[in-house]
Amino acid sequence: MLYLRVIFAEIKREIKEALTYRVGILSDIAVFSVLILSLLFFRTGSSLEDYYGGAADAKSLLLVGYLFWVFSIYAINSTSSEIHHEALRGTLEQKFMAVVPIGLLFLGKMLSGLLISTVIIASVTVLVLLLTDITLKITGLSLVLLGINLVGMYGLGLIFGSIALKVKKIGRLTFILQILLMFLTDTLTKTSFSDGLGKVIPLTNGINLARQSVSGLLVAKTDLIFFIVDSLIWLLLGVFIFSYAEKKVRREGALNFY
Amino acid sequence: MLSLRSVSKTYKKEMITALDAVSFDVRKGELVGLLGPNGAGKTTLVKIVSGLIIPDRGEIMIDQMVFNKENRYKIMAKLGVVLEGARNLYWSLPVWDNYFYFGSLKGKTNKEIKERIEQLEALLPTSVWKKRMVRSLSLGEKQRVAIMSALLHGPSLLLLDEPSNGLDIESRSILVSLLRNLRSSLQVTTLITSHDVDFLRRIVDRFVIISHGKIVKEVINDNLSTEEIEAVYLQSISD
């Protein structure tokens, strides 16, 4: 009960804080809407329809990849950028003095980030669907795949959170990561990288399998199992690295040094 | 209540020894002032006792529990900490939202937190700011909110790091009265760090003087004047 109560308190606080920065939410909706509409206008990912050869057209397949990407960057930012902000504010140290493991508080952050990002992304999606002729078929499996994807990307977020604990300013690094994820994980179009090393990134698998699902194609069990295992490995890696980084930073006495 | 034995800490990167075999005790119900110049190791000591920094060597006992991995969360439940600058609040949230949040981090339910706020209202009146954003408060008011946040879970040990820094005369005076009242009503064991002799003189039972990471002297605050304490302090840190 204590753990649930603390996670809920973290979610509540995060949402209240987000609501005090309503303009930020509106600007995120605007930015993400303009970006996807621009990509659609320039017919990005036009080869996707041929590649998947199913019922879904190129535009809806691009939208699926894009939505997965946006959810993923929110998952990453819920730890990496937030650690930076909390440390600047001085509240990070108070979190480390809680009666529960710090990981629970970051889980709360991730869940609240998921709620907030769902509102933002749903708004973007509705706007795009109203302004274009896209028909988006959301399958139950695609939502499950999104969840598995977020588990893995949260792990990646924890790794970046560890870097944030150590080096503090990682805004540019996070930005580069977001761009790399966009271009290397089939978000926009199929790449050769995604058939090789890109397969290790949960987002690549998530996008690919979700596109198969919305195209009415069968998702291979082996691919699904690989995706689940891959995401779990990233999560465990993230937890391990964050735990190590936290201890190292406390040993160095640098938790709040800016 | 608090016992430090040979606690040492060196910041390897900067090659600075912040604490060098520090040992002292704070008895239950005592209000002790850790007095020292800038860079003496006061904040490092507070952060080690708070579990934010891992010492290189030494032992810390809080309420007869050794501070280690196994006891960490039990000890956190006993600690109330206000770090320097009243930054450890969410300035974009109302005062009571901060109370409910930080109280929950210490394992309290909303009902318990509300009852505690009401209990402490006479000593630490902050309900008038209930719905005010923390950022709209003055520094002195923020400091009081931060202290209230630290007291909500009924800690056995209160740590205040440089609480008078940046406060004007009126706010300092209010803080002195507050700490005196807290001490007489709640009898919370308290360790306050400061370089302000006059501020500490008005409230502490005992001074522990620290300089260059070492405890150089302990002085009972037996109605000593500021000048007398300053003389002892300056002599101790120059030796």
Mean pLDDT of A67-72: 94
Q: Which letter, b or e, does each residue of B113-129 get, where b requires 16 or more Cβ atoms within 10 Å of its Cβ?
A: bbebbeebeeebebeeb
Nearest to B221 by CA among B40, B33, B36: B33
Residue A26 has pLDDT above 80, yes or no: yes
Question: Which chain A residue is nearest to residue B87, measuring alpha carbons?
Answer: A90
Q: The whole model's pTM is what?
A: 0.89
Residues of A (21-40) whose Cβ lies below 8 Å from B: 21
* Min Cα–Cα distance to chain A from B186, Å: 22
Query: Which residues from B are below 8 Å from A5, CB to CB?
Result: 104, 109
> What confidence score (pLDDT) does residue B122 get?
87
Mean pLDDT of B94-115: 95
* Chain A, chain B: beta-carbon pairs less than 8 Å apart: 89
Locate B49 and state its tokens: 């006792």
Query: Which residues from B are below 8 Å from A6, CB to CB?
Result: 104-105, 107
pLDDT tens digits, residue range A122-156? 999 999 999 998 888 888 899 999 999 999 999 99
Mutation for testing the B interface, residue in A23, A94, A104 having most B CBs under 10 Å: A94
Residue B239 has pLDDT above 70, yes or no: no
Helix segments in A92-220, DSSP class H: 92-96, 102-131, 140-167, 171-184, 202-214
Residues of A (104-123) whose Cβ lies below 8 Å from B: 105
pLDDT tens digits, residue range A189-212? 888 777 778 889 999 999 999 999
pLDDT tens digits, residue range B126-185? 888 999 999 999 999 999 999 999 999 999 999 999 999 888 889 899 999 999 988 888
Confidence of residue A95 (pLDDT cuts 50, 70, 90): very high
- Determine what percent of chain A is predicted with pLDDT higher than 90: 52
Distance CA A78, CA A164 (A): 12
Residues 6+ apart with CB under 8 A from B161: B42, B43, B46, B81, B82, B83, B84, B193
Residues of A (238-257) whose Cβ lies below 8 Å from B: 247, 250-253, 255-256
* Min Cα–Cα distance to chain A from B89, Å: 6
CA distances from A227 to A74, A141, A234, A238, B5 (A): 20, 13, 11, 16, 51
Q: Cβ–Cβ of A99/B107 closer than 8 Å?
A: yes
> For residue A216, which amino acid is it?
G
Q: A93-97, A102-106, A250-254: which has the highest mean pLDDT?
A: A93-97
Mean pLDDT of chain B: 91
Query: Which residues from B are below 8 Å from A97, CB to CB?
Result: 50-52, 76, 79, 81, 105
Identify any residues that bridge with B190 across adjacent strands, giving them in sequence order.
B31, B158
Residue B193 has pLDDT above 90, yes or no: yes
- Check CB contact of A20 with chain B, cutoff 8 Å: yes
> What confidence score (pLDDT) does residue B86 get?
66
Distance CA A230, CA B185 (A): 57
Residue A48 has pLDDT above 90, yes or no: no
* Structure ipTM over 0.85, yes or no: yes
> What confidence score (pLDDT) does residue A87 get?
82
Q: Which letter, b or e, does each residue of A32-48 get, where b requires 16 or more Cβ atoms within 10 Å of its Cβ?
A: bbeebeebbeeebbeeb
Q: Cβ–Cβ of B50/A97 closer than 8 Å?
A: yes
Mean pLDDT of A28-51: 90
Most distant pair of Cα atoms in chain B: their distance:
53
User: Phi and psi (nearest 5°) for B20?
Assistant: -130, 95
CA distances from A198 to A58, A82, A141, A228 (A): 21, 27, 22, 15
